[in-house]
Chains A and B, each alone.
Chain A
């Protein structure tokens, strides 16, 4: 069962080399259902919540991400009652990297949340917590899970997160996910923006610089690449537009406003997004590539933010998504393949954008339930 970091997007299919049968060797199931098989998805996700099969061990480093998909997925399916909210909150909080003192916040490390227990150790006798590997994506997932289970984010030590997060921002405005060094690209700008947004505090980042970096990522064809110069890509475009929205640089429902100039080339962006819906009804992540379930969210959410979601062919999209619905529960990347957690989650978010009955409404720019719409905020 192939799965990946939530923000790995469609940069390729990972085949599990541990001996699981490859998708092509599975005989095709009976013809697709004509409806969203909610109960089966709930059962599938409940199973994962209780125990993830060994196939997910290669994603161990992103355990919090797996937890986010599972718990937020159940919430989308209106099945959050399956989850022990206090237990989840306590478990998530245990991943927080805590500084011993205020002074430590200037040591360059990031006091966010670890993604797994790989490098989290109990502090030694002197209270020193070595090998702090707080990660931006894990922090985003942690906060999102806490919000999902109704935990009051104002009670956590947000100052440590925000002050130390500034250490991760680069001179060009991009973000590194961990202080020890890693790739920098739009995914982590998005994580940073989402973190500040959820904590309702923008002291964690220089928004202007982040905005400049994002604008540099807009490609000649209107979409956004993950870094300046890179090919426009559904995931990159989502990170760009969602970040700008979260940071307050673009208004909601831009397309219905009659302004003629925006900080990004909106008509070109819109046209690029619209062209991503392919003849099979699904969305592709890049021009001339195959449709993949998750882009129904990544690109669909961009259109939602801009106010252009109403322009897509929803019937055709629904038909494609249903062809990726698995008889085992969940969704696969392409029709007639095995489901995985990542594509399942984004299959649900895609159906939520389609306003499918039985699913909770989505906050497009956060990629999770719209708690305000549910009357929870």
Chain B
């Protein structure tokens, strides 16, 4: 689609094609509040839009006008909605519309209306559009791997049109690039729990635990794999407590005496859920305590809260509160 006169920001009042239209200024009433100092191009475009919208003119020039209005005010859902009405009336090639959205997506990738519009188009194109769509979202995510809108759209495409087969691999690729990307961890959980090809959470649990434990060992200060591990056992606390891999990675990390805060938290939670620690756990925790004057509490959970109060001092009040509430777990 070549750029039109309207695209180039020429005043509409000087264009022959718009001569028959009387622009409709906004009526803000006699005593408006928080008036905006609109620039001339904006005011004029919206005045013409109002005229066309009121007249309900669904023509090619109306389509071009919506593009201009969107450029100036990309959150305007009224303009987007009207554009959809015009697209339907003109029976426009929706693949071209996808191209249009793609062109403006990079500067509008965090705009709800744009993504909703895209979804509207895809709903009409159906599963043929799936591969291209998943590919486009990957491109957006390659610019910002945490773009919430892109992830939301991706989840919608998978659920509406399928394409689950490669999704777990894709999550893993993203995590290889940035193991701290919480969006990718979340997507992993989404795929593991909902993909029709994977057998569900319980079936996937063992491999997911292994993956997460490796991630924890590589970066014990990364909140994501710890949350993920907990999430794998959503309502099955007993299995969480009985999983030796998880409890032993806690003691492994604590023994390094480095970046052990999340490991201590996990151990605390396990204890609150009924975990019976053997001596190695007590030894690991005691080894962290360097005070001569103040001995560590004999109760392991209490001792952990005391340590966390000091090493995670931003949350000191929270650890004191947790200590007083033992054994309620997180």
> Which of A119, A286, A313, A316 is the one whose CB lies under 8 Å from B78?
A119
Complex interface: chain B residues within 8 A of A277 (CB): 314-315
Decide if B74 touches A58 in the complex (CB within 8 Å): yes
Number of interface residues of A (CB under 8 A): 82
A180 within 8 A of B: yes
Task: Return the chain A residue nearest B228 by Cβ.
Answer: A220
Whether A311 contacts B112 in the complex (CB less than 8 A), given A60-B36, A88-B33, A227-B152, comes out as no
Chain A, 281-314, contact with B by CB distance < 8 Å: what is the 0/1 string? Answer: 1000011110000000000000000001011110
Decide if B186 touches A12 in the complex (CB within 8 Å): no
A40 within 8 A of B: no
Complex interface: chain B residues within 8 A of A178 (CB): 77, 81
Chain B, 11-42, contact with A by CB distance < 8 Å: what is the 0/1 string? Answer: 00000000000000011110111111111001
Complex interface: chain B residues within 8 A of A35 (CB): none
Considering only residues 232-264 of chain A, those with a C-beta below 8 Å from chain B are 232-233, 260
Complex interface: chain B residues within 8 A of A130 (CB): 54, 56
Decide if A229 touches B81 in the complex (CB within 8 Å): no
Decide if B36 touches A57 in the complex (CB within 8 Å): yes
CA separation between A268 and B231, bound complex, in Å? 10
Closest-CB distance, A164 to chain B (whole angstroms): 18
Closest-CB distance, B198 to chain A (whole angstroms): 15
Whether A313 contacts B72 in the complex (CB less than 8 A), given A8-B112, A56-B36, A118-B26, comes out as no
Chain B, 43-70, contact with A by CB distance < 8 Å: what is the 0/1 string? Answer: 0001001100110100000000000000
B275 within 8 A of A: no
B147 within 8 A of A: yes
Considering only residues 279-330 of chain B, those with a C-beta below 8 Å from chain A are 313-318, 321, 328-330
A171 within 8 A of B: no
Task: Return the chain B residue nearest A121 by Cβ.
Answer: B54
Closest-CB distance, A29 to chain B (whole angstroms): 25
Considering only residues 135-157 of chain A, those with a C-beta below 8 Å from chain B are 135
Complex interface: chain A residues within 8 A of B37 (CB): 51-54, 57
Decide if A219 touches B186 in the complex (CB within 8 Å): yes
Considering only residues 79-110 of chain B, those with a C-beta below 8 Å from chain A are 79, 81, 107, 109-110
Decide if B314 touches A12 in the complex (CB within 8 Å): no
B132 within 8 A of A: no
> Which of A53, A61, A231 is the one whose CB lies under 8 Å from B76?
A61
Decide if A182 touches B110 in the complex (CB within 8 Å): no
Decide if B330 touches A268 in the complex (CB within 8 Å): yes
Whether A118 contacts B46 in the complex (CB less than 8 A), given A62-B75, A183-B116, comes out as yes
> Which of A91, A182, A274 is the one whose CB lies under 8 Å from B31?
A91
Complex interface: chain B residues within 8 A of A61 (CB): 73, 75-78
Decide if A66 touches B75 in the complex (CB within 8 Å): no
Complex interface: chain A residues within 8 A of B110 (CB): 8, 11-14
Decide if A52 touches B155 in the complex (CB within 8 Å): no
Decide if B116 touches A182 in the complex (CB within 8 Å): yes
A373 within 8 A of B: no
Closest-CB distance, B26 to chain A (whole angstroms): 4
Question: Chain A contact residues: over half helix, strand or loop, or mixed?
Answer: loop
Closest-CB distance, B298 to chain A (whole angstroms): 24
Chain A, 1-37, contact with B by CB distance < 8 Å: what is the 0/1 string? Answer: 0001100100111100110000000000000000000
CA separation between A220 and B182, bound complex, in Å? 12
Decide if B182 touches A117 in the complex (CB within 8 Å): no
A275 within 8 A of B: yes
CA separation between A274 and B151, bound complex, in Å? 25
Complex interface: chain A residues within 8 A of B318 (CB): 274, 308, 311-312
B210 within 8 A of A: no
B183 within 8 A of A: yes
CA separation between A121 and B52, bound complex, in Å? 12
Decide if B27 touches A286 in the complex (CB within 8 Å): no
CA separation between A18 and B73, bound complex, in Å? 11
Complex interface: chain A residues within 8 A of B227 (CB): 220-222, 272, 287
Chain A, 76-112, contact with B by CB distance < 8 Å: what is the 0/1 string? Answer: 0000000010011011101000000000000000000
> Which of A8, A88, A286, A313 is the one whose CB lies under 8 Å from B314?
A313
CA separation between A117 and B232, bound complex, in Å? 49
B130 within 8 A of A: no
Whether A52 contacts B314 in the complex (CB less than 8 A), given A230-B152, A288-B224, comes out as no
Decide if A54 touches B77 in the complex (CB within 8 Å): no
Complex interface: chain B residues within 8 A of A260 (CB): 328
20 A-B pairs besides A121-B50, A131-B54 with CB distance below 8 A are A4-B75, A11-B148, A12-B148, A12-B149, A60-B42, A60-B76, A61-B73, A70-B34, A118-B79, A180-B81, A220-B228, A227-B152, A227-B155, A267-B328, A274-B318, A281-B314, A286-B183, A308-B318, A313-B315, A316-B314
Interface residues, chain A, CB within 8 Å of chain B? 4-5, 8, 11-14, 17-18, 48-49, 51-54, 56-63, 66-67, 70-71, 84, 87-88, 90-92, 94, 117-122, 130-131, 133, 135, 178, 180-183, 219-222, 225-227, 229-233, 260, 267-268, 270-272, 274-275, 277, 279, 281, 286-289, 308, 310-313, 316
> Can you list 17 A-B pairs with a CB-CB distance of less than 8 A?
A11-B149, A12-B109, A52-B35, A57-B36, A57-B39, A58-B74, A119-B78, A181-B120, A182-B113, A182-B116, A219-B231, A221-B228, A225-B186, A230-B148, A230-B151, A268-B330, A313-B314
Interface residues, chain B, CB within 8 Å of chain A? 26-29, 31-39, 42, 46, 49-50, 53-54, 56, 72-79, 81, 107, 109-110, 112-113, 115-116, 119-120, 144, 146-149, 151-152, 155, 180-183, 186, 189-190, 194, 222-224, 227-228, 230-232, 234, 265, 313-318, 321, 328-330
In order of increasing CB-CB distance, the 9 nearest A-B pairs are A220-B231, A12-B110, A271-B330, A221-B227, A117-B26, A231-B186, A287-B182, A61-B76, A119-B78
